[in-house]
Amino acid sequence: MLGQDVLTVLKRAGIEAVGLRRADLDITDPAAVRAAVEGATVVVNCAAWTDVDGAETAEEAATAVNGTAVRVLAEACAAAHVRLIHVSTDYVLPGDASEPYREDAETGPVNAYGRSKLVGEQAVTELLPQDGYVVRTAWLYGEHGPNFVATMLKLAAQRDTLDVVDDQHGQPTWSYALARHLVDLGRAALKGWAMGGIYHGTASGRTTWMGLARETYRLSGLDPERIRPTTSEAFVRPAVRPAFSVLAHDAWKEEAGLDPLPDWREQLAQALATPGFAALAKAARDGRTG
Protein backbone atom coordinates (compact mmCIF):
# COMPACT_ATOMS: atom_id res chain seq x y z
CA MET A 1 0.00 0.00 0.00
CA LEU A 2 2.56 2.60 1.11
CA GLY A 3 5.20 1.39 -1.35
CA GLN A 4 2.85 1.85 -4.29
CA ASP A 5 2.01 5.35 -3.12
CA VAL A 6 5.69 6.24 -2.77
CA LEU A 7 6.31 5.13 -6.36
CA THR A 8 3.30 7.14 -7.56
CA VAL A 9 4.55 10.29 -5.81
CA LEU A 10 8.03 9.85 -7.26
CA LYS A 11 6.67 9.31 -10.76
CA ARG A 12 4.47 12.40 -10.57
CA ALA A 13 7.48 14.39 -9.37
CA GLY A 14 9.56 13.16 -12.30
CA ILE A 15 12.02 11.36 -10.03
CA GLU A 16 13.51 8.11 -11.31
CA ALA A 17 12.82 5.20 -8.99
CA VAL A 18 12.88 1.42 -8.93
CA GLY A 19 10.24 -0.46 -6.96
CA LEU A 20 11.08 -3.99 -5.83
CA ARG A 21 8.41 -6.41 -4.64
CA ARG A 22 8.99 -9.44 -2.44
CA ALA A 23 9.25 -11.59 -5.57
CA ASP A 24 11.97 -9.27 -6.90
CA LEU A 25 14.16 -9.08 -3.81
CA ASP A 26 14.72 -11.29 -0.79
CA ILE A 27 15.59 -8.67 1.82
CA THR A 28 17.08 -11.35 4.07
CA ASP A 29 19.73 -12.11 1.39
CA PRO A 30 22.77 -9.85 2.04
CA ALA A 31 24.27 -10.28 -1.45
CA ALA A 32 20.96 -9.52 -3.15
CA VAL A 33 20.40 -6.48 -0.95
CA ARG A 34 23.88 -5.13 -1.63
CA ALA A 35 23.30 -5.47 -5.36
CA ALA A 36 19.90 -3.79 -5.11
CA VAL A 37 21.12 -0.66 -3.31
CA GLU A 38 24.18 -0.16 -5.49
CA GLY A 39 23.85 3.09 -7.42
CA ALA A 40 20.92 4.40 -5.39
CA THR A 41 20.94 7.73 -3.58
CA VAL A 42 18.00 7.07 -1.23
CA VAL A 43 16.38 3.77 -0.27
CA VAL A 44 12.85 3.80 1.17
CA ASN A 45 12.11 0.57 3.02
CA CYS A 46 8.38 -0.19 3.10
CA ALA A 47 8.88 -3.96 3.37
CA ALA A 48 7.59 -5.48 6.59
CA TRP A 49 5.87 -8.36 8.30
CA THR A 50 2.55 -6.67 9.09
CA ASP A 51 0.50 -9.54 10.54
CA VAL A 52 0.38 -8.25 14.10
CA ASP A 53 -1.58 -11.17 15.52
CA GLY A 54 0.37 -13.74 13.54
CA ALA A 55 3.63 -12.46 14.99
CA GLU A 56 2.55 -13.66 18.43
CA THR A 57 3.13 -17.27 17.39
CA ALA A 58 5.84 -16.54 14.79
CA GLU A 59 8.00 -13.91 16.45
CA GLU A 60 11.22 -15.34 15.05
CA ALA A 61 9.87 -15.13 11.49
CA ALA A 62 8.55 -11.61 12.07
CA THR A 63 11.89 -10.50 13.49
CA ALA A 64 13.72 -11.98 10.49
CA VAL A 65 11.83 -9.54 8.24
CA ASN A 66 11.29 -6.57 10.55
CA GLY A 67 14.61 -6.73 12.36
CA THR A 68 17.37 -8.90 10.92
CA ALA A 69 16.63 -7.98 7.31
CA VAL A 70 16.62 -4.29 8.21
CA ARG A 71 20.11 -4.69 9.66
CA VAL A 72 21.18 -6.32 6.38
CA LEU A 73 19.71 -3.36 4.49
CA ALA A 74 21.30 -0.79 6.81
CA GLU A 75 24.69 -2.49 6.44
CA ALA A 76 24.37 -2.40 2.65
CA CYS A 77 23.36 1.26 2.67
CA ALA A 78 26.24 2.16 4.98
CA ALA A 79 28.74 0.38 2.74
CA ALA A 80 27.38 2.08 -0.40
CA HIS A 81 26.95 5.51 1.27
CA VAL A 82 23.22 5.47 0.54
CA ARG A 83 20.63 7.21 2.70
CA LEU A 84 17.96 4.93 4.16
CA ILE A 85 14.40 5.90 5.07
CA HIS A 86 12.94 3.05 7.11
CA VAL A 87 9.23 2.90 7.94
CA SER A 88 8.51 1.77 11.48
CA THR A 89 5.52 1.80 13.82
CA ASP A 90 4.00 3.28 16.96
CA TYR A 91 3.93 -0.29 18.30
CA VAL A 92 7.54 0.09 19.49
CA LEU A 93 6.10 2.30 22.25
CA PRO A 94 4.24 1.03 25.35
CA GLY A 95 0.98 2.87 24.59
CA ASP A 96 0.33 3.90 28.18
CA ALA A 97 0.94 7.65 27.91
CA SER A 98 -1.55 10.49 28.23
CA GLU A 99 0.39 13.04 26.14
CA PRO A 100 1.81 12.57 22.63
CA TYR A 101 4.99 10.50 22.53
CA ARG A 102 8.08 12.49 21.57
CA GLU A 103 10.56 10.99 19.15
CA ASP A 104 13.01 10.35 21.99
CA ALA A 105 10.44 8.68 24.26
CA GLU A 106 11.45 5.42 25.90
CA THR A 107 10.39 2.40 23.88
CA GLY A 108 8.61 -0.62 25.35
CA PRO A 109 6.67 -2.81 22.90
CA VAL A 110 3.68 -4.70 24.30
CA ASN A 111 3.56 -7.36 21.57
CA ALA A 112 5.79 -9.47 19.33
CA TYR A 113 5.24 -7.29 16.29
CA GLY A 114 6.43 -4.21 18.16
CA ARG A 115 9.50 -6.06 19.45
CA SER A 116 10.38 -7.16 15.91
CA LYS A 117 10.06 -3.61 14.57
CA LEU A 118 12.17 -2.22 17.40
CA VAL A 119 15.04 -4.50 16.34
CA GLY A 120 14.89 -2.87 12.91
CA GLU A 121 14.83 0.64 14.34
CA GLN A 122 17.88 -0.08 16.47
CA ALA A 123 19.80 -1.40 13.47
CA VAL A 124 19.16 1.76 11.44
CA THR A 125 20.07 4.19 14.22
CA GLU A 126 23.18 2.17 15.12
CA LEU A 127 24.57 1.64 11.62
CA LEU A 128 23.40 4.88 9.98
CA PRO A 129 23.46 7.56 12.68
CA GLN A 130 23.74 10.36 10.09
CA ASP A 131 22.10 8.82 7.01
CA GLY A 132 19.34 6.69 8.56
CA TYR A 133 15.81 8.02 8.96
CA VAL A 134 13.32 6.00 11.00
CA VAL A 135 9.76 7.15 10.30
CA ARG A 136 7.17 5.73 12.67
CA THR A 137 3.64 5.64 11.35
CA ALA A 138 0.32 4.32 12.64
CA TRP A 139 -3.30 3.64 11.70
CA LEU A 140 -2.37 3.67 8.02
CA TYR A 141 -5.04 3.45 5.30
CA GLY A 142 -4.97 3.86 1.53
CA GLU A 143 -6.32 2.72 -1.81
CA HIS A 144 -3.88 -0.11 -2.46
CA GLY A 145 -4.33 -2.56 0.39
CA PRO A 146 -6.66 -3.84 3.10
CA ASN A 147 -7.25 -1.22 5.78
CA PHE A 148 -9.78 -0.03 8.36
CA VAL A 149 -11.40 2.73 6.28
CA ALA A 150 -12.05 0.42 3.34
CA THR A 151 -13.40 -2.26 5.67
CA MET A 152 -15.84 0.17 7.29
CA LEU A 153 -17.20 1.19 3.89
CA LYS A 154 -17.55 -2.40 2.72
CA LEU A 155 -19.38 -3.38 5.90
CA ALA A 156 -21.74 -0.42 5.52
CA ALA A 157 -23.34 -2.20 2.58
CA GLN A 158 -23.81 -5.37 4.64
CA ARG A 159 -24.86 -4.29 8.14
CA ASP A 160 -27.20 -1.73 9.63
CA THR A 161 -24.90 -1.03 12.60
CA LEU A 162 -21.29 -1.66 13.54
CA ASP A 163 -19.66 -1.83 16.98
CA VAL A 164 -16.25 -0.13 16.90
CA VAL A 165 -13.65 0.27 19.65
CA ASP A 166 -13.69 3.68 21.32
CA ASP A 167 -10.94 3.26 23.92
CA GLN A 168 -7.86 3.19 21.67
CA HIS A 169 -6.49 6.60 20.67
CA GLY A 170 -4.39 7.34 17.62
CA GLN A 171 -3.83 9.32 14.43
CA PRO A 172 -5.38 7.90 11.23
CA THR A 173 -2.85 8.50 8.45
CA TRP A 174 -3.46 8.42 4.70
CA SER A 175 -0.70 6.42 3.03
CA TYR A 176 -0.48 8.79 0.06
CA ALA A 177 0.05 11.80 2.35
CA LEU A 178 2.77 9.88 4.19
CA ALA A 179 4.36 8.91 0.86
CA ARG A 180 4.62 12.57 -0.13
CA HIS A 181 6.27 13.32 3.20
CA LEU A 182 8.76 10.48 2.78
CA VAL A 183 9.74 11.86 -0.62
CA ASP A 184 10.12 15.34 0.85
CA LEU A 185 12.30 13.88 3.59
CA GLY A 186 14.47 12.15 0.99
CA ARG A 187 14.94 15.41 -0.87
CA ALA A 188 15.84 17.22 2.35
CA ALA A 189 18.30 14.46 3.20
CA LEU A 190 20.06 14.74 -0.16
CA LYS A 191 20.38 18.50 0.28
CA GLY A 192 21.86 18.04 3.73
CA TRP A 193 18.92 19.71 5.45
CA ALA A 194 17.51 16.71 7.30
CA MET A 195 19.29 15.11 10.22
CA GLY A 196 19.27 11.36 10.61
CA GLY A 197 17.18 9.97 13.44
CA ILE A 198 13.58 9.23 14.38
CA TYR A 199 10.56 10.99 12.89
CA HIS A 200 6.86 10.46 13.53
CA GLY A 201 4.95 10.10 10.26
CA THR A 202 1.37 10.32 11.49
CA ALA A 203 -1.45 12.78 10.95
CA SER A 204 -1.93 15.70 13.31
CA GLY A 205 -4.79 15.60 15.79
CA ARG A 206 -6.17 12.47 17.40
CA THR A 207 -9.28 10.29 17.53
CA THR A 208 -10.42 6.74 18.30
CA TRP A 209 -11.31 3.92 15.92
CA MET A 210 -14.96 4.79 16.48
CA GLY A 211 -14.24 8.44 15.73
CA LEU A 212 -12.52 7.45 12.49
CA ALA A 213 -15.40 5.18 11.49
CA ARG A 214 -18.02 7.85 12.17
CA GLU A 215 -16.09 10.50 10.26
CA THR A 216 -15.66 8.08 7.35
CA TYR A 217 -19.42 7.54 7.27
CA ARG A 218 -20.20 11.24 7.60
CA LEU A 219 -17.90 12.22 4.74
CA SER A 220 -19.29 9.38 2.63
CA GLY A 221 -22.92 10.44 2.98
CA LEU A 222 -23.77 7.70 5.48
CA ASP A 223 -25.33 8.04 8.92
CA PRO A 224 -22.46 8.13 11.47
CA GLU A 225 -24.83 7.01 14.22
CA ARG A 226 -24.76 3.56 12.64
CA ILE A 227 -21.36 3.26 14.35
CA ARG A 228 -21.76 2.28 17.99
CA PRO A 229 -19.00 2.53 20.63
CA THR A 230 -17.56 -0.51 22.32
CA THR A 231 -14.40 -1.43 24.26
CA SER A 232 -11.25 -3.37 23.46
CA GLU A 233 -12.42 -6.08 25.84
CA ALA A 234 -15.21 -6.89 23.41
CA PHE A 235 -12.68 -7.69 20.68
CA VAL A 236 -10.04 -9.87 22.28
CA ARG A 237 -7.19 -10.57 19.86
CA PRO A 238 -3.95 -12.57 20.19
CA ALA A 239 -1.76 -9.44 20.26
CA VAL A 240 -2.25 -6.66 22.78
CA ARG A 241 -2.88 -3.28 21.11
CA PRO A 242 -1.49 -0.05 22.58
CA ALA A 243 -4.27 2.04 24.11
CA PHE A 244 -2.54 5.32 23.25
CA SER A 245 -0.76 5.74 19.91
CA VAL A 246 -0.68 9.53 19.65
CA LEU A 247 2.74 10.76 18.49
CA ALA A 248 4.39 14.19 18.61
CA HIS A 249 5.92 15.65 15.44
CA ASP A 250 8.61 18.05 16.61
CA ALA A 251 11.43 16.47 14.58
CA TRP A 252 9.95 17.47 11.22
CA LYS A 253 10.49 21.16 11.96
CA GLU A 254 13.52 20.86 14.21
CA GLU A 255 15.53 18.26 12.28
CA ALA A 256 14.26 18.44 8.68
CA GLY A 257 12.74 21.91 8.23
CA LEU A 258 9.44 20.37 7.11
CA ASP A 259 5.88 20.80 8.32
CA PRO A 260 4.23 17.81 10.00
CA LEU A 261 1.41 16.00 8.24
CA PRO A 262 -1.96 17.81 8.35
CA ASP A 263 -4.93 16.95 10.55
CA TRP A 264 -6.39 13.47 10.16
CA ARG A 265 -9.81 14.84 9.12
CA GLU A 266 -8.25 16.79 6.26
CA GLN A 267 -6.36 13.72 5.10
CA LEU A 268 -9.46 11.53 5.32
CA ALA A 269 -11.54 13.96 3.23
CA GLN A 270 -8.87 13.96 0.52
CA ALA A 271 -8.53 10.18 0.61
CA LEU A 272 -12.28 9.57 0.33
CA ALA A 273 -12.35 11.74 -2.80
CA THR A 274 -9.98 9.37 -4.64
CA PRO A 275 -11.53 6.91 -7.13
CA GLY A 276 -11.04 3.77 -5.06
CA PHE A 277 -12.60 5.08 -1.88
CA ALA A 278 -15.30 7.00 -3.76
CA ALA A 279 -16.39 3.75 -5.41
CA LEU A 280 -16.58 2.00 -2.04
CA ALA A 281 -18.64 4.85 -0.61
CA LYS A 282 -21.06 4.75 -3.54
CA ALA A 283 -21.47 1.01 -3.14
CA ALA A 284 -22.15 1.53 0.56
CA ARG A 285 -24.83 4.14 -0.16
CA ASP A 286 -26.40 1.96 -2.83
CA GLY A 287 -26.33 -1.07 -0.57
CA ARG A 288 -28.13 0.54 2.34
CA THR A 289 -29.72 3.93 2.81
CA GLY A 290 -29.58 5.97 5.97
Active site residues: 113
- Residue 196, amino acid: G
Question: What is the three-class DSSP state of 83?
Answer: strand
DSSP tag of 168: -
Q: DSSP H helical segments within the chain, as ranges?
A: 2-12, 30-37, 59-63, 69-80, 112-127, 148-156, 175-190, 209-219, 250-256, 264-272, 275-287
Q: Which of 228, 232, 196, 208 is nearest to 78 (CA)?
A: 196
- In this structure, are strands 169-170 and 207-208 parallel, antiparallel, or unpaired? antiparallel
Signed CA dihedral, 188, 192, 194, 197: sign only: positive
Contact at 8 Å (CB) between 205 and 263? yes
- In this structure, are strands 83-89 and 132-137 parallel, antiparallel, or unpaired? parallel
Q: Which of 65, 79, 201, 181 is nearest to 131 (CA)?
A: 79
DSSP tag of 270: H
- How many other CB atoms are there within 10 angstroms of residue 254's CB atom? 11
